[in-house]
Structure 1
Amino acid sequence: MDVILAVVCLGILTVALLFLGRRFKIPSIVCFLVIGMLAGPYALSIVSDQSTIETIGEIGVILLLFTIGLEFSFERLLKAWRVVVIGGAFQVCTTIVVAALILHMINGVMFTEAIFFGFLVSLSSTAIVMKILQDRGEVETVPGRTLLGILIFQDLAVIPMLLLTPVLMGSSISTASLPFEIIKVIAILAILIVSAHWVVPWVMYRVARQKNRELFVFTIAGICFAVAWLTNAAGLSYSLGAFMAGLIIGESEFSIDAVSNIIPFRDVFAAIFFISIGMLLDTSVILSQLSIVITLLAIILVAKVLTGSVASAILGMPTRVSIFVGLALAQIGEFSFVLAKNGVDSNLMGPGPYQFFLAAAIITMALTPFTMNMAFPVTNLLYRLFPDRIKRPDPRKDASGPAPEELSGHIVIVGYGMTGKSVARAAEILGIPYNAIDMDPDVVARERAADTHHEIIFGDATHREILEYAGIERARALVVVISEQNVVPGIIHLAREMAPSIYIVVRTRHVNDVRQLLDLGADEVIPEEFETSVRIFSRVLAKYTLPESDIDTLTKVVRGNGYRMFSRAHDPLPSGNQDPERAFGDLHIHTLEVGAGAPSVGKTLRQLDPWNTRGVGILAIRRGAASVTSPHPDLIVLPGDVLILYGSETNISRFRPLVAGPAKTA
């Protein structure tokens, strides 16, 4: 097929399937894999040249892992050393052993081939997991940070795996040449470290001084492919070199500009990679050898879920986090395809097993969004089936000090991040007792060491025992400020069941989540979207030269009116037919000048009654150099007054004739 025609067909197929995927809520990663299967040589043959497919895939994974490397940092790696070293090492090593033993015992595969299969299974997809976490807004949550640490170790573990693969073949590398290979890798790493500290910053500085965006972008791309070629020359993979190149540029002072130029192409790189992976799969293999594919799929899922969950549990994570980590890692990674290709080239893996592995691997990738969504219901199911064997975290055993006092009328704070700490500090200033709950063991240990006067409870607030220990039945208020939005409804429901009279305040990201949380029992919901709009509103008012005190007053008016929609006590949506996002999203700020001879001139605001008659609120009135905020209802409207209003476009249009002067005639 003509190249241009192939590109057009591939584009049409991509747009169509992405549209259908969006319509039926199918993750984009699954759509890209299906697109690759349909467009590849085993289906529609839009792209049939195997070498072209491999080249596209190689370029795609190079660029994709380069962007991932840009967002990593050595500083983050050092801070997460416990998760990286302990959790990552345990997960990788146990997965290799478990997968190899299962394959060896069930299918009688040679031990060296089983170990190589363990290498392939032990690695997970950094691109898939991080993309899903970014879409869910959970990168900075406890499960997100745990996954990131383990994935970092997996990426680094590729180096010894690539070195050991020839050893498994038996004759490629002798014992005498092994030290030379290790020295070569160390030398390459030394060159990369020197480049990261001196060469790259010097080059980037000279390029940045030219103030030419095209030169800057191509320099970044050149560094990416140069480092990828250098690592490949050392016997490692192009993709690992691209990841290292991203780390090098990410450590320079030009990293933010580099990210801003490269990140817009990240989704394109991801699409190219996943489409190319889909093209490699011979779909007839799944149908003709279904039993073998299912067996491999079962081995992969069992081994990875089990070892990932146990690795997280060893780090001290609650059961829910451990299960989520295991399910999130239950797919084959990008580097596994690189290792598998090396295995095929070296006859360690035959073409048939390679296709079986590809089929099982691509299925695990496609299942990842769904397995990650299963974590919460799976955890609840396990607790119901095995209430005694799978015990929830006991805060009494974990506490480093004595149990907290029997507090009464206190605040229970779920989530001890920035917002949770702010609530706690405010409570301290006002002399209000509180108990805080967090499930990050590092945060709990750090806060306990720094603060001996208040109890920081380690545990998962979705568990009844944790809320009981925090004294939820005796508390006056519950504040839920955690980043994992999918578990917030469960916390609200459980808290309302345990303490029917408690006042529940919840933070959420989106306004359209308000209705669900109010229906579940929250008394007040704070949407971050709304708070952001209020902050922007205050900044805009500053440009109208209003005094700061007036801006504060107006902000309070807008915030007060808005939160009536987000509180059960003043719920204007009893029927549930009106969406809070739509209802409040239609309101805008307007300014109208009162014209001479307008119908409103000489009337009081009470007489006009704009809110009840037109659905328009008057926030302030500018009269000459003075500003009147929260004007009194008996204030008389004068010609030349500038009214600062809020309301929908329709209502403002209905109100405008009252303040507009008579039309001028020619």
Structure 2
Amino acid sequence: MDLYLLESMSIILITAVVILLIFNKLKLPSMIGLFLTGIVLGQFITSTSLITEISELGVIFLLFIIGLEFSIEKFSSIKHYAIVGGLLQVVITTLLVMLLSLCAMPLNRAIFLGFLVCFSSTAIVMKLIQKKQLTHTLQGRVTLGILIFQDIAVILVLLLTPLLGGESINLALLPQILTKLVALVLIILVVGLFIVPRALKEAAKTKNRDLFMLLVLFICLGTTFGTSAIGISPELGAFIAGLIISNTDYAHQTLGYIQPFQDVFMSIFLISIGLMIDVNYFIQNILLIVAFSIVVLLLKFVATLITGEVLKIPIRTTIAISILLSQIGEFSFVLAGVGITHGLLTNELFTMFLAVSIITMSSTPFLQNITPRIVDLFKRIPYFQVDEELSMIKEEEVQSQILENHVIIVGFGVNGKNLSRACYHYHIPYVIVDLNPLIVEKEKALGLPIIYGNASNESVLKELKINDANCIIIATSNYESTLTTIDAARRLNPDIHIIVRTRYLKNVDEVYAAGADVVIPEEFETSIVIFTKLMDYYNKDVDEITDTIDTLRSDNYYEFRSVAPDELTTKLNENLTDLMVESLYVKDKKQLDEYEFKKHDLTVTAIIRDNKTILGISPKFELIEDDLILFTGSQENIEFFLKDYYNVDGGI
């Protein structure tokens, strides 16, 4: 392995960790810290080509995730803002920048510079919207619509860039190009509609995380390679790969698997941008850089303000949106790199652009904090009728599927099915998540609100609207997954009520410590059910049964968390009067009717085998070694039975 690469990556990572820790203490955006990491390290690392190549994977994964998160439903609910608002914002910004730039550069470069400036940072803006809980406001919806349009538009601009750089379309090659495009569309349709969904389903059925993740990575990188091989940009290939998976039931789980890769490589990408900054140039031209940054912020603010006026959005909301979208986005860095390749940017202009971009991105959180002051300035202008509060989105424009104050049911086994029926009966909004693709496919066809995924994955929990949920019920049998789900749910929504079903009493304390509010151990509850049925069979008083059960459940099962099965009968007997519960271990294979329980007027209530409780036993039930028989009867009858059959070894 290349030791230089290891050395460089180690230095980069430890520097980033230190700087991000400081930024976290100061409550400053991580993105600025990553830029600063690159700027600092740029003074010591001489060769950055290898790091830049690695960082390009961050762009690939980012576009893959954008395709993955894109859905027709999401787009259709905000199509007016996305199409009209997005188009206006991009076109107006590009025109304003182009007109100002024409005095210093030719038309093609001026247009390209307009394209560079018109895109905003999806990463920064969406984090701010989520942090301020603006998702369902008019401000959040319009902003999201414009960002979606920009994400799609950047693909088109990447395709147009070679033409702006002077490359001409050879008409003789047009049939060949069209053939490639038609073939690509056909392949995408076949792969997207038939092959990928089937492959993902088969991988999901195995419940093998590594297999599923490797398949997803192959789809992402394989599609990217395929489009590159026929002369189409790898960025478009990554977007198409995400788009293919977005129409399957496995999009949310895929997002969870791919997100860590995207986060790591995108961080390296942002650091690599900082590495490109010439500190000496930055210091020498600081006033010019700041001036250009202010011009960019003002131009984008004005362009979005005009867009808001056309859409007839209240001015206060328009101002807030204009501030949110005033920075240059991360896609512009990708576009700038392509522009250099095609001679649309000089090295000096590229350095200036990077510096201006970093300043505009860094200023966004601070500008958002002073939004009220900017609104006050607009109040002094007679033309603007400033509303007093940020407008909420109109009721008819809100998606009917928005979940609020709902219950999340994790696992759709017997418990999950019963819980969903109860929620449906009492009109409690709920959503289900399960890792069995066959169950998800079947129940979704029946109209149940269910998605495929692992609830321990943050991306899946976000899709389940964990932030708006009141309660999450974890009814799966995987103990490790239960603990990670509790941790993720508590981090994403500290106030959510967490109810957990666990199999064994010994796990109760650990589950409570992990953050659960209520823990129901299946092992102990089974004995409670057996006891209740037994008491009902003997016509015991309901109040007496209830009091006994309450006693058994007191102190959160404290007495029973480390109780062996044979000790459980002793504790049950402490609460009973004329009826005894007893247990015996089996030493040899026999049928149940070979033991004369009926002759001694005793009732077998259950068999415990390998920590599993077996009910509804027939007389011909086959017993095996180490089975534990639970039976009930009067003390006198039990003593006669034991006298006849109990041997010296303590087994039967």
In which range does the TM-score fall when normalised by the shorter chain? 0.5 to 0.7
Q: Aligned residue for 2:252?
A: 256
Cα shift readout 1:157-186 (whole Å, capped 9, x = no counterpart): 224323432333334335676786577556
Which one has the largest radius of gyration?
2
Shift of 1:316: 3.0
Task: Measure, in 1, the Cα distance between the counterparts of 2:345 and 2:303.
Answer: 25
**What does 1:438-517 correspond to in 2, within 5 Å?**
439-441=392-394, 443=396
Q: Distance in 1 between matches of 2:167 and 2:303?
A: 32
Equivalent of 1:75 in 73, 76, 81: 73
**Alignment TM-score, normalising by the size of structure 2:** 0.59
Residues 139 and 272 (structure 1), Cα distance of their counterparts in 2 relative to 1, 3 Å cut:
farther
**In structure 2, how many angstroms separate the alpha carbons of the residues matched to 1:51 and 1:143?**
41
Q: Is 1:365 the counterpart of 2:318 in the alignment? A: no
Are 2:98 and 2:114, in contact at CA under 8 Å, matched by a contact in 1? yes
> Residues 532, 164 of structure 1: CA spacing in aligned structure 2 closer, same or farther, 3 A cutoff?
closer
Which string of whole-angstrom CA distances, capped at 9 and with x for unpartnered residues, describes residues 175-226 of structure 1? 6767865775565345334432222112222333443221211110111112
Mapping for residues 594-633 of structure 1, pairs under 5 Å: 625-626=545-546
CA distance in 1, matches of 2:73, 2:39: 40
Work out whether residues 237 and 338 of structure 1, in 8 Å CA contact, stay in contact via their aligned partners in 2. Answer: no
Name the residue aligned to 1:132.
128
Deviation digits for residues 52-77 of structure 1, max 9, x if unmatched? 13212211111233233322212212
Deviations 1:257-288 (A, max 9, x none): 21232234443243222222222222222112
Partner residue, 1:310: 306
Contact 2:77 2:398 in 1 (8 A): no
The runs of 5 or more residues in structure 1 that have no matched partner are 395-413, 415-436, 448-507, 511-527, 545-585, 592-621, 632-639, 646-666
Establish whether residue 44 from structure 1 lines up as the match of residue 44 from structure 2: yes
Deviation at 1:345, TM superposition (A): 1.4
What residue in structure 2 maps to residue 93 of structure 1?
91
Q: Which moved more, 1:305-314 or 1:262-271?
A: 262-271
Residues 165-180 of structure 1 aligned to structure 2 (within 5 Å): 165-174=161-170
Match of 2:269 in 1: 273
Residues 321, 210 of structure 1: CA spacing in aligned structure 2 closer, same or farther, 3 A cutoff?
same
Superposition deviation, residue 535 in structure 1: 4.4
* CA shift in 2, pair 1:134/1:247, >3 Å: farther
Does residue 390 in structure 1 map to residue 392 in structure 2?
Answer: no
Deviation of the 1:2 alpha carbon? 3.1
Using a 3 Å threshold, how does the CA distance of structure 1 residues 372 and 175 change in structure 2: closer, same or farther? farther
Contact 1:316 1:441 survives alignment (8 Å): no
| 2:8 is equivalent to residue 6 of structure 1 | yes
Which residue in 2 is equivalent to 1:460?
Answer: none
Unaligned residue ranges in structure 2 (runs of 5+): 401-466, 470-489, 506-514, 521-541, 557-652
- Whether the 8 Å contact between 2:77 and 2:397 is mirrored in structure 1 is no
Matching residue within 366, 373, 379 for 1:377: 373
Deviations 1:523-545 (A, max 9, x none): xxxxx9999858447x899x99x
Q: Distance in 1 between matches of 2:246 and 2:365?
A: 28
1:587, distance to aligned residue in structure 2 (A): 13
Please state whether the residue corresponding to 1:281 is helix, strand or coil: coil
Aligned-residue sequence identity (percent) comes to 33
2-structure distance, mates of 1:253, 1:530: 23
Match for 2:101 among 100, 103, 116? 103
**1:170 match: secondary structure:** coil
- For the Cα contact (< 8 Å) 1:61–1:270, is it kept in 2? yes
Q: Where do 1:190-209 residues align within 5 Å? A: 190-209=186-205
The 8 Å contact of residues 97 and 110 in structure 2, kept in 1 or not, is answered as yes
Residue 331 of structure 1: aligned partner: 327
The 3 A distance-change label for structure 1 pair 587 and 189 is closer
Equivalent pair of 1:590/1:644 in contact (CA under 8 Å): no
Deviations 1:616-663 (A, max 9, x none): xxxxxx99633599x9xxxxxxxx797669xxxxxxxxxxxxxxxxxx
Determine if contact 2:136/2:393 at 8 Å carries over to the other structure.
no
1:398 paired residue number:
none
Report the Cα offset of residue 323 of structure 1: 1.6
Match of 1:223 in 2: 219
Q: Judging changes above 3 Å, is the alpha-carbon distance between structure 1 residues 540 and 218 closer, same or farther for their aligned structure 2 residues?
A: closer
Is 2:58–2:263's contact at 8 Å kept on the other side of the alignment?
Answer: no
Aligned counterpart, 1:21: 23
CA 1:533–1:302: 2 relative to 1, 3 Å: closer
In structure 1, what is the Cα distance between the partners aligned to 2:493 and 2:159?
53
The two structures have a TM-score, normalised by structure 1, of 0.58
C-alpha offsets along residues 575-614 of structure 1, whole Å, 9 cap, x if unaligned?
A: xxxxxxxxxxx998999xxxxxxxxxxxxxxxxxxxxxxx
Question: What is the deviation of 1:245?
Answer: 1.6
228-237 vs 283-292, greater mean Cα deviation: 228-237
1:240/1:378 CA distance change after superposition, 3 Å:
farther
Q: d(CA) in 1 for partners of 2:496 and 2:333? A: 49
Secondary structure of 2:386's partner? coil
> Could you tell me which residue of structure 2 aligns to residue 319 of structure 1?
315
Mapped to 2, the partners of 1:80 and 1:239 lie a distance apart of 25
Q: Which amino acid aligns with 2:31?
A: I
2:152 aligned partner, one-letter code:
L
SS, match of residue 2 in structure 1: helix
Q: Which residue of 2 aligns with 1:516?
A: none
Please say if residues 119 and 332 of structure 2, whose CA atoms lie closer than 8 Å, have aligned partners that are also in contact.
Answer: yes
Change (3 A) 1:148 1:446: closer
What is the total number of aligned residue pairs between the two structures?
441
d(CA) in 1 for partners of 2:547, 2:360: 63
Q: How far apart in 1 are the matches of 2:367 and 2:392? A: 22
Q: Quick one: distance in 2 between partners of 1:240 and 1:178?
A: 20
Question: SS state of the match for residue 257, structure 1?
Answer: helix
* Closer, same or farther: CA 533–440 of 1 in aligned 2, 3 Å: closer
The alignment partner of 1:625 has SS state of helix
1:127 CA drift (Å): 2.5
Structure 2 counterpart of 1:71, one-letter code: E
CA contact (8 A) 1:37 1:279 kept: yes
CA distance in 1, matches of 2:347, 2:205: 52
Judging changes above 3 Å, is the alpha-carbon distance between structure 1 residues 338 and 180 closer, same or farther for their aligned structure 2 residues?
farther
**Structure 1 pair 190–319 and aligned structure 2 pair: CA distance change class (3 A):** farther
CA 1:88–1:54 in structure 2 vs 1: closer, same or farther (change >3 Å)? same
Question: Which residue of the partner structure matches residue 648 of structure 1?
Answer: none
Work out the CA distance in 2 between the residues paired with 1:163 and 1:534: 46
- Residue 50 of structure 1 aligns to which amino acid in structure 2? T
**In structure 2, what residue type is equivalent to 1:65?**
L
Q: Secondary structure at the match of 1:151?
A: helix
